[in-house]
Amino acid sequence: MNVAAGVSLRPYNTLGVAVRAQWFARLTAAAQIPSLLARFGGSPILVLGGGSNLVLTSEVPGLVLHNAIGGLELLAEDGDGVSLRVGAGENWDQLVARCTGQGWFGLENLSWIPGSVGAAPIQNIGAYGVELKDTLLAVHTVGIEDAEPHRFSAADCRLGYRDSIFKHEQQDRQIITAVDLRLHKRPHLQLEYGEIRQTAERWGHDLKRLTPSQVRQLIIRIRQEKLPDPALAPNVGSFFKNPVVDAAQYQCLRQREPELVAFAQADGRYKLAAGWLIDRLGWKGRRLGQARVHPQQALVLVNEGHGSDDVLRLAQQIQRDVKAAYGVALEVEPRIIRGSSRLD
Ligand code: FAD
Ligand code: EPU
């Protein structure tokens, strides 16, 4: 297996940050992992998928492992649905296109999310009222410490809002090699979020007969109106999580801001639309150095340079402003990778 030194990661992250990996390898099969671990054991290892949820800051020490493990296997099929095993290096949206094309329900609301299948469990990707946890059966990994295969059931993954065990005690300890999903053959639609239902009606669809492919097209259209294409405006999607506050704080904010956008949670708390708060404070379209708040979606920061300092400074200023104005702490969503020295 070819391991290269000093590879530029600029083509491998959607924020377009030009830093190098000390070592870089492309993983195409789980069977390659034990020998790599034997060679690089003890060095830091960063697994990279599509690089669409990372903020690189400086040269990445150790080994960057670009996951390109492919494959799609039908594990089981019955009258209700199918169970699939998908290689971690498969492209997420191509998987969604294939499954919706088969008429299988479950992934259509998660259309047009960049990145790899293997990264989907890391933050339990979610959009338009659906999360990965609604279809996930299991995650297969190879342990970085023991080079042994492991299986995490959906419950083991402890999936939450933009959260999983892989962001906590299993962070940087497992290489995800495959993901098992269960999809439905019968209608299983989630149309309650935002403008999906209205857009479907406007397009003349019969809501009772919507196919997964039709929902996919609706979602793609809605997303394209708001979210910038990383190839044209480098970004990592939402830069902050939507903060969840208790009912008392929500009522207090609601009195001050009657238009506040918030979603009641099952536990009585409220998830606030961080984009609304940032927008309300006048940040939309504002620039700091080579970073900019996206003019159509205040939760998205766009990088106009090849570093990440300005993006991180802009994020900090927004966090300070939202905290001062509303008493709400915004948590950064993408993972910030801090390395050693800078690429000039
Ligand atoms: P990467 O950025 O490569 O990695 C992310 C993290 O996962 C890193 O910590 C990495 O080390 C780890 N990782 C990746 N692969 C593996 C593996 N095989 N094994 C172990 N660890 C691994 N996210 C949403 O949830 N919903 C959205 O609607 C959404 N919309 C987006 C829109 C745009 C325009 C963009 C740019 C991003 C959006 N995202 C969204 C964020 C992002 O696409 C997802 O988080 C995606 O799952 C990241 O996949 P990736 O392969 O690019 O991960
Ligand atoms: N809003 C504004 N101004 C803005 C942005 C949003 O007023 O600048 C308002 C919208 O009008 C809407 C509400 O805030 O009433 C929510 O906006 P939107 O539907 O665009 O969703 P979001 O909360 O900003 C979340 C996810 C997205 C996901 C969408 C759709 C998080 C952190 N982000 O964004 O995920 O695609 O919902 O479900 O939960 C990502 O994680 O990278 C991501 C893009």
SS percent in the chain: helix, strand, coil, step 5 = 25, 30, 45
Buried b (16+ CB within 10 A) or exposed e, 193-224: eeebeebbeeeebeeeebbbbbbbbbbbebee
Under 8 Å between Cβ of 13 and 116: no
Tokens of 82: 């199918």
Query: Residues, the chain, total?
Result: 344
Map out the domains of the chain as residue ranges.
Answer: 3-67, 72-226, 244-343
**Local confidence band at 202 (pLDDT 50, 70, 90 cut-offs):** very high
**Local confidence band at 263 (pLDDT 50, 70, 90 cut-offs):** very high
Catalytic position from the list 162, 182, 216, 280? 162
Cα separation, 68 vs 256, in Å, equals: 49
**Other CB atoms closer than 10 Å to residue 257's CB: what's the count?**
16
Q: How far is ligand 2, taken at its centre, from the CA of residue 299, in Å?
A: 7
Cα separation, 128 vs 187, in Å, equals: 17
Give one word for 218, left, alpha or beta, with left for phi > 0 and alpha for psi -120 to 50.
Answer: alpha
In eight-state DSSP terms, residue 173 is T
Under 8 Å between Cβ of 125 and 113: yes
Same CATH fold assignment for domains 3-67 and 72-226: no
Choosing from 14, 108, 235, 299 the residue with most ligand 2 atoms within 8 A of its CB, the one to mutate for a pocket test is: 299
Q: Note the pTM of the prediction, 2 decimals.
A: 0.97
Angle at 44 between CA 38 and CA 45, to 5 degrees: 70
pLDDT at 1: 84
For the chain, what is the mean pLDDT?
96
Whether 140 shows a pLDDT value over 50: the answer reads: yes
Q: Which atom of ligand 1 has the smallest separation from the CA of 48?
A: 3
Q: How far is ligand 1, taken at its centre, from the CA of residue 236, in Å?
A: 8
Residue 134 makes CB contacts below 8 A (sequence gap 6+) with 106
Phi, psi of 312 (to 5 degrees): -70, -35
Catalytic position from the list 90, 108, 131, 333? 333
Cα separation, 92 vs 75, in Å, equals: 19
pLDDT at 194: 85
For residue 299, how many C-alpha atoms fall within 13 Å in the half-sphere facing its CB?
Answer: 19
Residue 262, strand partner residues: 272
Whether 339 shows a pLDDT value over 90: the answer reads: no
Q: How far is ligand 1, taken at its centre, from the CA of residue 72, in Å?
A: 20
pLDDT at 42: 87
Which range (153-162, 185-194, 233-242) has the least confidence?
185-194
Cα separation, 245 vs 239, in Å, equals: 19
What letter represents residue 125's amino acid?
I
Closest CA to 187 of 202, 162, 160, 205: 205
For ligand 2, say whether the CB of 241 is within 6 Å of any of its atoms. Answer: yes
Tokens of 339: 């390395």
Cα separation, 118 vs 141, in Å, equals: 9
Ligand number with the minimum distance to the CA of 230: 1
Cα separation, 131 vs 162, in Å, equals: 9
Cα separation, 294 vs 223, in Å, equals: 14
pLDDT at 343: 36
Q: Is 164 a catalytic residue?
A: no
For ligand 1, say whether the CB of 314 is within 6 Å of any of its atoms. Answer: no
Model pLDDT for residues 83-131, shown as the tens digit of each residue: 999 999 999 999 999 999 999 999 999 999 999 999 999 999 999 999 9
Under 8 Å between Cβ of 241 and 215: no
**Local confidence band at 41 (pLDDT 50, 70, 90 cut-offs):** confident
Whether 215 shows a pLDDT value over 50: the answer reads: yes
Nearest CA to ligand 2 atom 24: 275
Tokens of 193: 């979020």
Choose which CATH entry (3.40.50.10160, 3.90.78.10, 3.30.420.40, 3.30.830.10) describes domain 244-343: 3.90.78.10
What CATH number belongs to 72-226? 3.30.465.10
**Local confidence band at 340 (pLDDT 50, 70, 90 cut-offs):** low
pLDDT at 344: 31
| DSSP per residue, 185-201 | SS------STTHHHHHH
CATH 3.30.43.10 fits 3-67, yes or no: yes
pLDDT at 62: 97
Under 8 Å between Cβ of 177 and 87: yes
Percent of the chain with pLDDT over 70: 99
Model pLDDT for residues 52-82, shown as the tens digit of each residue: 999 999 999 999 999 999 999 999 999 999 9
